[in-house]
Amino acid sequence: METRAVPYICCTLVSIPPFLFEAILYAPIDDTNSTAKIGNGKIFFTLYKKEMAMWDSLTLANANKEKLQHLRENAVLKAHEKAKEETEAKKVTKQEHKKYALEATMKLEEAERKRIEDLKEKERQKVTKELELWKKEQKDAEKQKRIQKEGELHQQVEQLKEKKKEEINKTRIPNEGTSKTRLKPTKGHGSYSMFSENLKEEQLPAPRSAATIKINFTSRVFPTALRESRIAEEEEVVYLQWLHKQAEARRTVSADLSELEDLKEEEKNPDWLKDKGNKMFAMGNYLAAVNAYNLAVRLNNKLPLLYLNRAACHLKLRNLHKAIEDSSKALELLTPPVPDNENARVKAYVRRGTAFCQLELYTEGLQDYEAALKIDPKNKTVEKDAEKIRHLIQGTMQDY
């Protein structure tokens, strides 16, 4: 055994299975800085004095058995206390590392969620632009057709006018060398009259006498033919709209599938997403909870608790109409009414009633609270809130 700078040492125990080494030193040593190394069948102790002083000897020579036993027990007790402190310190450090890892994971998940939302927003903007462009093209095509029809109609009117002018010119008697109508002289006068004998002979006959004509209509056995029908054009527009909707639906489905493929394996489990949403709700991150529930609903839209929990988030975010929709959907899925789903049905009625009351639709809200009381008549909180709503309704009716 070699010793270097050995300080005041009281008692040192070194346990090397299956051996126990004991050295009763003259004065205490510094346990923190002192070391013991094993190699080549030897043990090397490097011990430092706790207080710098000269020792009379390396070990405590004149010590009775009781003192040695006392020193032994104190050494063992200190060793146990030190080991316990080290264990507690490791436990605290482990908890801190775990907390840091959880925070880092949440930040990564939030960043990933934001990235997915950005991709969805870009896709929505792209689809909106395509729809607007398609609408503009349809309007331009309809405008072009209308202009073309107006041009054809105008051309037909001009042709009719020209044809009528030609017929009028044919009925006139042209004069030689002039374009004026020749006037014939009337009999017995030396001047010309504007009314020729031919015109007088062509005067209209007297009106016929009035009479009543009876008309009998036969029953129509076949549909009357449509004139100037636009059914073909309308069917073409409807067909184009249908094609556009089909293309848009395919793009949406393909985007949803590609988005689901990017998810981790645990994120494809609706129950895991529900638990995650519950944790986000408990932490006050309602928007993150809504996102978790949305993804879970897309994976499984038959779980009533997803809609029920999302309704609670919408109430916190003041999305009252969405809270009403989710509560109603939860009530639809909570059928048939059995004792096992009584608690969930009470929550659905209360949350929908709360949303109605915040929209100042107190009558509808009171109906939902009363429905909840029918399920759970002993619920004092619901009964108290229902009584408040009744007072509000009575106060509103008194104002009128």
The DSSP element (H or E) to which 230 belongs, if any, is: none
CA distance 241 to 135: 10
pLDDT of residue 153: 82
Q: How many CA atoms within 13 Å lie on the side-chain side of 306?
A: 20
| Residue 174 pLDDT exceeds 50 | no
The DSSP secondary-structure symbol of 338 reads -
Q: What are phi and psi of 172, to 5 degrees?
A: -85, 155
Question: Tokens representing 239?
Answer: 């067909």
pLDDT of residue 220: 52
The DSSP secondary-structure symbol of 339 reads G
pLDDT of residue 204: 52
Could you list the beta-strand ranges (E) of 64-202.
none
Q: How many CA atoms within 13 Å lie on the side-chain side of 28?
A: 9
Q: What is the CA radius of gyration of the chain?
A: 51
Cis previous bond, 223, omega within 30: no
Please give the CATH number for the structural domain made up of 269-399.
Answer: 1.25.40.10
With H, G, I as helix, E, B as strand and everything else as coil, classify residue 266. Answer: helix
Question: Tokens representing 241?
Answer: 């709209």
Helical segments of 172-223, H only: 197-201
Question: Tokens representing 249?
Answer: 């639906």
Domain ranges of the chain: 269-399
The dihedral over CA atoms of 368, 372, 377, 378, expressed in degrees to the nearest 10, equals: -120
Own/partner pairs, 332-337, CB within 8 angstroms, 24+ separation: 333/302, 333/303, 333/304, 333/307, 334/304, 337/375
The DSSP element (H or E) to which 12 belongs, if any, is: strand 12-16
What value, to the nearest 5°, has the Cα angle with vertex 77 and ends 71 and 78? 90
Contacts of 279 (CB under 8 A, 6+ apart): none
Name the band, by pLDDT with cuts 50, 70 and 90, for residue 198.
very low
Cis previous bond, 336, omega within 30: yes
| Residue 14 pLDDT exceeds 60 | no
Lowest-confidence segment of 8-17, 55-64, 231-240 by average pLDDT: 8-17
Give the Cβ contact number of residue 311 at 10 Å: 26
Q: Which residue has the tokens 């990564």?
A: 108
| Residue 349 pLDDT exceeds 90 | yes
**pLDDT tens sequence across 282-303:** 999 999 999 999 988 988 888 9
What value, to the nearest 5°, has the Cα angle with vertex 311 and ends 305 and 316? 135
pLDDT of residue 43: 77
User: Which residues partner with 38 through β-bridges?
Assistant: 43
**pLDDT tens sequence across 59-106:** 776 767 787 788 778 878 887 888 898 899 999 999 999 999 999 999
**pLDDT tens sequence across 30-70:** 777 888 787 777 777 788 887 888 887 777 767 677 877 88
| Residue 194 pLDDT exceeds 50 | no
Question: Tokens representing 396?
Answer: 């509103």
With H, G, I as helix, E, B as strand and everything else as coil, classify residue 370. Answer: helix
End-to-end CA distance of the chain: 103
CA distance 20 to 76: 12
pLDDT of residue 64: 75
pLDDT of residue 170: 63
**Cβ atoms 286, 280 nearer than 8 A:** yes
The DSSP secondary-structure symbol of 268 reads G
Name the band, by pLDDT with cuts 50, 70 and 90, for residue 121.
very high
pLDDT of residue 56: 75
Residue type, 218: T
Length reported for the chain: 400
Lowest-confidence segment of 217-226, 242-251, 310-319 by average pLDDT: 217-226
